[in-house]
Amino acid sequence: MSSDTAMIPARLLSAFVLVASFVLPSVACAQASAKSVVTSERVRAELMAHAPEGLAPGKQVWVGLQLAHQPEWHTYWKNSGDSGLPTQLEWTLPAGVTAGDIAWPVPRKIPIGNLANYGYEGTVLLPVPLTIGAGFKPSLLGGDMEVKLKAQWLVCKKECIPEDGEFTLKIPARSTTALNSAAFQAAFAAQPKPVLQNTGVITESNARIAQDALELNVQGLPVALRGKTLEFFPETPEVIETAGKWTQAWNGAAWTARVPLSAQRSGSPSVMPVVLVADGQGWRAELKVLGTWPAVAAAAGVSPALEAALRGNSGGSPPPSAPSLTLAAALLGALLGGLILNLMPCVFPILAIKVVSFTRHADDRRGHRVSGVAYTAGVVVSFLALGALMLALRAAGEQLGWGFQLQSPAVVAVLAALFTLIGLNLAGLFEFGAFLPSGVASLEARHPVTNAFLSGVLAVAIASPCTAPFMGASLGFAIGLPALEALLVFAAIGVGMALPYLAASWFPVVARLLPRPGAWMDTFRKLMAFPMFATVAWLVWVIGQQSGIDGAGALLVLLVAMSMVVWAFTLRGRARTIVATISLACLGLLAWAAGPNITKLPAQQSAVNDGSGWQAWEPGRVDQLVASGQPVFVDFTAAWCVTCQYNKKTTLSHQDVLADLAAKNVALLRADWTRRDPAITAALGQLGRNGVPVYVFYKQGRAPVVLSEVLGVEEVRSAIARL
């Protein structure tokens, strides 16, 4: 093997690091400026005001948040029903001004499987009255009253996504505000009216406890309602069975109903406000509860997935699961995981080149040891740098996990170009010395330690997307540690990965196991070109998963054009000048025309269609399925994760595994982390993990069961049998 091959990393990594540094994910730290409208893909939220008589003590002033939902999406009423959360408003008002409660419009019942929620679709305005006290003094300069609102709402379709917004609105203090009069009048008309007698006194109605049901008796409803079927909405949550079957009837002027109590009832109110609706109009009655409530069930909290999503939406990171590891166990797991990383297919060619380089200088014991230490330093420093960068970005609010750099198509493309050049060099198409000034080449030849160090950096760049056995729990544990202890875990992974080469360089008994130098080395060098090209094929496939077929095609075209440029510079004389000029022009033109396709985000697909029953993971989907009694299996995966693809082809597609899953009616969800997805990162954090692959079984009433990183058919079948 030529000396050029031994110096591949030193000549390529400088360019690689320079390019990659510009394409790593940026930190999104900027705060959105305050405004009256916040828009997402699901909801357009706008803060509105209604002051037809101006601002003055005693005058009626209203503000409100209008939510315009996209089709099939909804938000929630004050009692959200079986799931969900009501919209929450937090006001910041001038001195002397106070805000009342939301004047909730009449909701509608939204069935979700065997559950039911109360909420709003289409466009709804949530009006809030403002009381202008004598202490309010408008500004002498501006003459406006500034109203600030921080709102949070949960918007759901099949999945639920928490959203929020900060709004600012200035209401003229010395003029009227009635531009949104129609919207507010419609909201006022949609509010339920109190149930009154002709004398104007609120009629006493009641709700009698009858074993496992409530018997309602509402009097004083308008005569026009008699005989009609009414909708029923209790304002008190977690009392009735929202989706349960109930009956109603008219007994003269009284409307009666029998509604089942919830098995998970958490409250025992003495008065139950209810809203009855017919023909789009609502009436509100406060029912005195008669009888003794049965014992209440344990209070039901917000689901872990929803709680994690809400924390993530408010800017904080969800806390990982309570760690079961000690720091010593995490370090040992990291060391073993780093050792196993050497068996990853994409890392093997780099290590093979290092071993052949080691063999070429079999008699230089001191050189071997220095090279081994330098390679180890390169690996450990690279793992520390990646770990520190990931921890810093997470501290800044980014939802990142292990292998985050491969979630950038630009980084994947740079790696594909790098391995194409290495493959062409190994195949003998060119030697790096032919492109470098003799002074640079001789300088690198005099510094083999630098070359060994950069070989370690290159090995880590390729190995880092993978999570080996023992590594997953250690990485997840490290995220919750102080920075210094977390970096110790990353360093342990690096030591484990460098250990085999370090042992070969320091212990003669290991060195004697290596083959002696000879003609076979040139053949082996050219043979190693094919694993490099195979790695390029894998990276092109990863781009296809991230950016679609156009992205993969664009990368292939650019790699071919780059190869043509390399070949052109191996020519001599005038042919080199002409062909190199043409090939460089072609490469530049193709990069301008096709390059943007590499990083372009393809159309989002809502489901996984691989013919085996897998569906796309979505936030809240697991909770919905488990609540319905169906067990769930989630595959957290990524296209750039070699272990993920191996498990998918060998275990998850195995006929016995699929048959067992079908027999137990297990729902199959695939969480694709190929591109950055903060929701998946949060879900991994809840499991105490920080990278893929992760495989989890969920079942109602049980804690999630996390399987090992490298799956076996028997392991999965055994877990299914225990469901």
Q: What CATH number corresponds to the domain at position 241? A: 2.60.40
- Domain boundary (599, 625, 644) is at 599
Distance CA(509)–CA(275), nearest Å, equals 84
Examine the domain organization and report whether 419 and 490 are in the same domain.
Answer: yes
In the chain, the number of structural domains is: 4
List the structure tokens of 441: 């080449």
CATH number at residue 122: 2.60.40.1250
pLDDT at 650 over 60: yes
Q: Which of 296-310, 463-477, 481-495, 564-578 has the highest mean pLDDT?
A: 564-578
* pLDDT for res 311: 47
Reply yes or no: is the peptide bond before residue 320 cis, omega within 30 of 0.
no
Tokens coding 456: 């370690």
Q: What is the pLDDT of residue 277?
A: 92
Q: Are residues 50 and 81 in the same domain?
A: yes
- Greater confidence, 32 or 598? 598
Domain encompassing residue 12: 7-28+325-599
Q: Are residues 401 and 475 in the same domain?
A: yes
Same domain for 413 and 460?
Answer: yes
Ranges 243-257, 338-352, 428-442, 499-513, most confident: 243-257
Which tens digit of pLDDT belongs to each residue from 327-345? 777 788 778 877 777 766 5
- What pairing do the DSSP bridges indicate for beta strands 281-290 and 193-194? parallel
Task: Decide if pLDDT at 364 tops 80.
Answer: no
What pLDDT does 33 receive? 35
Task: List Cβ neighbours of 45 (8 Å cut-off, separation of 6 or more).
Answer: 37, 38, 39, 65, 66, 67, 68, 151, 153, 163, 165, 167
Look at the block and give the residue holding tokens 């709402």.
153
pLDDT digits (tens, 9 = 90+) for 73-102: 899 999 988 877 899 999 988 888 888 899
pLDDT given at position 540: 86
Q: Per mean pLDDT, which range of 5-14, 174-183, 311-320 is the poorest?
A: 311-320
The pLDDT assigned to 668 comes to 93
Q: Average pLDDT of the chain?
A: 76
CA 416, 418, 420, 426 torsion-angle sign? negative
The answer to the question of residue 473 being in a domain is yes
Q: Output the domain CATH number for residue 686.
A: 3.40.30.10
Range name among 143-157, 401-415, 448-462, 598-612 with the lowest pLDDT average: 598-612
pLDDT at 65: 94
pLDDT (0 to 100) of residue 634: 94
- Same domain for 152 and 242: no
Domain contains 295: no
Q: Is the pTM higher than 0.85?
A: no
Contact call for residues 330 and 474 (beta carbons, < 8 A): yes
Q: Which value, to the nearest 10 degrees, does the dihedral of the CA atoms of residues 129, 133, 135, 140 take?
A: 60
**124 secondary structure, DSSP code:** E
Note whether 543 and 639 are same-domain residues.
Answer: no
Q: Which region among 120-124, 454-458, 553-557 has the lowest average model confidence (pLDDT)?
A: 454-458
In this structure, are 577 and 628 located in the same domain? no
| Domain shared by 283 and 222, yes or no | yes
d(CA 222, CA 225): 6
Could you tell me if 253 and 160 lie in one domain? no
| Residue 170 and residue 222 share a domain | no
